[in-house]
Structure 1
Amino acid sequence: MKTALITGGNRGIGRAIAEGLASDHRVVIGVRDPEAGQTAAREMGCEAVPLDLTQPESFELALAEIGGVDVLVNNAGVLIDSNLINDPEGFETSMQVMVRAPYHLIRLCMPHMAQQGWGRIVNLSSGWGAFAEGLEGPGAYGLAKAALNALTHALPRDLPEGIKVNAMCPGWVATRMGGSSAPLTPEQGADTALWLARLPDDGPTGGFFRRRAPIPW
């Protein structure tokens, strides 16, 4: 049974992804709040590890506790509604959580994936991070997602054979971040991520998807 790590997997889209993978994976959710994470893990029948994406020193310890990740879903994100010029701290936090942390988690998961000759990496992005859709959203959110998209697009040239990485936009989902008026459920938002996590050997890599279809960068 393959092991899947979902960052921010205790609620929202991340929780829907964790629940969707639980039928055929060992699922571990990475959580900033250990107590909330353990509660969610018990409810879902999975495992939880403390993983604060703003504290890179926690990454290696969490991965050592897991013991090898086959499917990495970089789901956790932050939406800071502020002025880019006036809020450098918000910029740094956005880039850390949504670009630097995914990069370093990918890097740290790579030895196990390479040894297995198989791995799937799913980066939760957004249409707000697409140049084609205007790099919208508040603060540094769109910029960070655009950088995550660029990382996704560039990584395949340096990944070992058998490892695939893709980004996806879940759409406007009714979560704490998306708000209650959003038209999609977390389960609907998770669908493309679940598809990418289970891609066959001839599946795509280095792409950007919404509703299981490619979308422009």
Structure 2
Amino acid sequence: MKSALITGANRGIGFETAKQLAALGYFVYIGSREKAKGLEAVATLKALGFSNADCVELDVTNILSVKAARQAIKSKTPQLDVLINNAGISGGFPQPALTVPLEQVKTVFETNFFAPIQVIQEFIDLLKKSNEPRIVNVTTELSSITKHQDPDWEFYAYNPSAYGASKSALNAYTVMLAKELKDSNFKVNCVCPGFTKTAFNNYMGVRPVEHGARAIVKYATLTSEGATGKFFNEDGEMPW
């Protein structure tokens, strides 16, 4: 049975992604900053008929927590097949470029950019033991620099100088990582789930959570012919 770790998976898109992967036969590890909430998520999955799930306490911004999570998973499985860096924060809006507090920017980057890097670096040895390792970095359409230059874009008026920039940085790191792993069997991509209705945006999104997770699952389960080092949403490749 293949295994997958999803960060920030006790609710929202992360939880729905876990449910969809469990339905495909993956053993899913629910990464949750608060273990109690992770246990609740696992209980919910089991109530739905999925016994192939467990939780791991994981604060992605705390390197000691990341290392402990790695040891916990390593004690249960010799390898990890899928890593989905889903945990993230918006940092609160608005975020005007001229006045957004620097501390706010640093906080957002800590979770959305630096944390995925340290999670990847800690779990890379378990991923390398998989025959088909997959890494998905969850991003956003608001990270597209090309889109932000298009006055006709539906979100052109938004200027999330912390959140959008942190995800743009994550996109860039994804490209660098995919290039470094290009001669291996890794597939590394960033995926935008779309403006999904979850607690993350106070349920203001327009897409059901099932659709948002579907795009993530698609690129977490790519075949050997799949792309790597790309930026996708449910409709296909996105402009950087």
Q: TM-score range by the shorter chain?
A: over 0.9
Report if the CA contact (8 A) 2:80-2:130 is conserved.
no
Point out the structure with max Rg over C-alpha: 2
CA shift at 1:112, angstroms? 2.0
Report if the CA contact (8 A) 2:56-2:69 is conserved.
yes
Aligned equivalent of 2:28: 27
CA shift at 1:137, angstroms? 4.5
SS of 1:144's equivalent in the other structure is helix
Q: How many angstroms apart in 2 are the aligned matches of 1:88 and 1:6?
A: 29
Which residue, 130, 143, 157 being the options, matches 2:179? Answer: 157
SS of 2:197's equivalent in the other structure is coil
Report if the CA contact (8 A) 1:195-1:212 is conserved.
no
Q: How many angstroms apart in 2 are the aligned matches of 1:131 and 1:190?
A: 23
CA RMSD of aligned residues (A): 1.7
User: After the TM superposition, which residues 36-185 of structure 1 pair with which residues of structure 2 at under 5 Å, given as runs?
Assistant: 36-45=37-46, 46-67=53-74, 68-81=79-92, 83=95, 85-134=99-148, 136-159=158-181, 161-185=184-208
CA shift at 1:81, angstroms? 2.1
SS of 1:133's equivalent in the other structure is helix
TM-score by length of 1: 0.94
TM-score by length of 2: 0.85
CA spacing shift, 1:78–1:112, aligned 2, 3 Å: same
Stretch of structure 1 that moved more, 4-13 or 101-110: 101-110
Aligned equivalent of 2:152: none
Report if the CA contact (8 A) 2:179-2:229 is conserved.
no
Q: How many angstroms apart in 1 are the aligned matches of 2:34 and 2:217?
A: 24
SS of 2:199's equivalent in the other structure is coil
Aligned equivalent of 1:13: 13
Aligned equivalent of 1:204: 227
SS of 2:226's equivalent in the other structure is coil
The C-alpha deviation readout for 1:151-189, integer Å capped at 9, x for no partner, is 111111212600111011111110012233422111111
Count of residues in Structure 1 that have an aligned counterpart in Structure 2: 217
Report if the CA contact (8 A) 1:9-1:30 is conserved.
yes
Gaps of 5+ in 1: none
Q: How many angstroms apart in 1 are the aligned matches of 2:204 and 2:109?
A: 27
The C-alpha deviation readout for 1:112-167, integer Å capped at 9, x for no partner, is 22233431001110011110121855351001000011011111121260011101
CA shift at 1:191, angstroms? 0.8
Gaps of 5+ in 2: 47-52, 150-157
